[in-house]
């Protein structure tokens, strides 16, 4: 049976992405779309699926290796009838992604990157830090926080620089941005007070944590709160949802939040912007790609719904159902999670009365929604029960002032209160 090389597909603008998990071993039988390896970009972890059915003949990468679009990762043994010899690789050079190749002597394990003078494998060198002895995750954190690893003395095994070394360096640094100068919270021995259990964080949480920390430290956050009367909208939504359920998808409030957000973004374009690198101008975006936080077993993922202004409530609902399922199944692609101009985080299905979402920098604002509840509202003559939805807008005060934020959020509330504004 012929051997074909499985290559990394199109992963967007990412390059030199580390391999964090190999999900197969030599001799395994795999089917089309079975995950082979897991890559970890600066946005999320993503699986690379098998393009066809076959047996793993050779693993061409190891944990910590850096791969890019078109990199060969697995050598697969497939039947003659299944070899896709006409498929092209994702590198745009017209190479045959599954061309038959002569077999090579199988190696017992993935290649190791050995540090001179060390008996243990170490991650491949990063161009920006030369021969610094540190893991890919430590290098990534250092780049995100602007820390020069060449100025840190490692305290790990054989001089390896650890995350604690980076934290200690930041705590001792004077001034500067990115959180430098902030003292570290002292470590405690909790076990002396009672039983404890150490639960490792998911890769996704470990990945998003530094990004959230960076955004919180760099963005001057302010949160404005308001309420939208969605009594009429909810009745309309339930009517649409009854029909949608029979077709395999749901119509939720999030689709209406997307449309109302676009109506406000068009009226207040500064909210659909990013600060320029020099921080002295706003880059206004004339497109409307909105990120929607999705709760998954591994943590929050924020897929991007593109061109929201060009789609109706039903089309958005179908797309939300589809993309949420893909996120929970870890079938994430780079295009799913990049290019957003504004974000929405809805806790309505869980509860709460208000919260402060963190701005998804380089965006300048994020909308939060919690559970709606019936409240007595004065209509000028009597109190009547109305379904009120609490909304929270966190924003970057450098780009948006308080009055502008209040008007923007009120525009969203007005649009939700009059469903006709959303379906025109």
Q: How far is CA 299 from the centre of its chain?
A: 10
Q: What angle do CA 231, 235, 237 make, to 5 degrees?
A: 110
Q: Which of 63, 82, 85 is nearest to 17 (CA)?
A: 63
- Among the options 98, 113, 221, 397, which is catalytic? 397
Q: Quick check: helix, strand or coil at residue 357? A: coil
**CA atoms of 340 and 397, how far apart (whole Å):** 19
Q: Are 37 and 61 in contact (CB under 8 A)?
A: yes
3-state helix, strand, coil in the chain (%, to 5): 30, 25, 45
Q: What angle do CA 348, 351, 356 make, to 5 degrees?
A: 80
**CA atoms of 234 and 249, how far apart (whole Å):** 17
> What does each C-alpha distance from 304 to 23, 134, 258, 316, 403 come to in angstroms?
27, 33, 11, 12, 28
Q: Which of 46, 52, 48 is nearest to 60 (CA)?
A: 48
- To the query of whether residue 113 is one of the catalytic residues in this protein, the response is no
Active-site positions read 397
């Amino acid at each position: 049976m012929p051997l074909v090389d499985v290559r990394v597909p199109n992963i967007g603008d990412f390059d030199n992405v580390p391999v964090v998990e190999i999900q197969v071993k030599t001799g395994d039988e795999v089917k089309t779309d079975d995950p082979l390896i897991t890559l970890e970009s600066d946005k999320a972890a993503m699986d690379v699926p098998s393009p066809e059915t076959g047996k793993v003949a050779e693993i061409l990468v190891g944990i910590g290796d850096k791969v890019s679009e078109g990199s060969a990762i697995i050598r697969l043994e497939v039947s003659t009838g299944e070899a896709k010899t006409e498929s092209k690789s994702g590198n745009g050079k017209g190479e045959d992604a599954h061309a038959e190749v002569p077999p090579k002597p199988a190696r017992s394990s993935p290649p190791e990157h050995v540090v001179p003078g060390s008996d243990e494998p170490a991650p491949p060198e990063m161009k920006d830090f030369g021969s610094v002895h540190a893991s890919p995750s430590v290098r990534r954190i250092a780049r995100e926080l602007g820390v020069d690893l060449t100025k840190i003395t490692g305290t790990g095994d054989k001089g390896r620089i650890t995350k604690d070394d980076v934290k200690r360096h930041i705590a001792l640094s004077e001034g500067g941005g990115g959180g430098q100068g902030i003292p570290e919270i002292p470590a405690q021995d909790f076990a002396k007070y009672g039983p404890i259990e150490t639960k490792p964080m998911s890769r996704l949480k470990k990945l998003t944590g530094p990004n959230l920390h960076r955004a919180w430290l760099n963005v001057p956050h302010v949160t404005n709160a308001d309420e939208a009367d969605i009594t009429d909208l909810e009745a309309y939504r339930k009517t649409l949802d009854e029909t949608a359920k029979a077709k395999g998808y749901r119509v939720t409030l999030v689709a209406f939040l997307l449309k109302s957000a676009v109506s406000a973004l068009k009226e207040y374009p500064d909210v659909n912007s990013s600060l320029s690198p020099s921080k002295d101008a706003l880059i206004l975006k004339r497109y409307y790609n909105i990120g929607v936080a999705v709760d998954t077993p591994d943590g929050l993922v924020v897929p991007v719904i593109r061109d929201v202004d060009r789609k109706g409530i039903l089309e958005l609902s179908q797309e939300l159902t589809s993309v949420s399922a893909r996120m929970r199944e870890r079938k994430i692609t780079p295009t799913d999670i990049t290019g957003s101009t504004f974000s929405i985080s809805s806790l309505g299905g869980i509860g709460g009365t208000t919260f402060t979402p963190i701005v998804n920098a380089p965006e300048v604002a994020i909308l939060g929604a919690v559970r709606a509840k019936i409240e007595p509202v004065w209509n000028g003559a009597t109190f009547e029960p109305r379904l009120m939805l609490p909304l929270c807008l966190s924003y970057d005060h450098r780009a948006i002032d308080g009055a502008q934020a209040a008007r923007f959020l009120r525009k969203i509330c007005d649009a939700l209160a009059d469903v006709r504004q959303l379906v025109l």
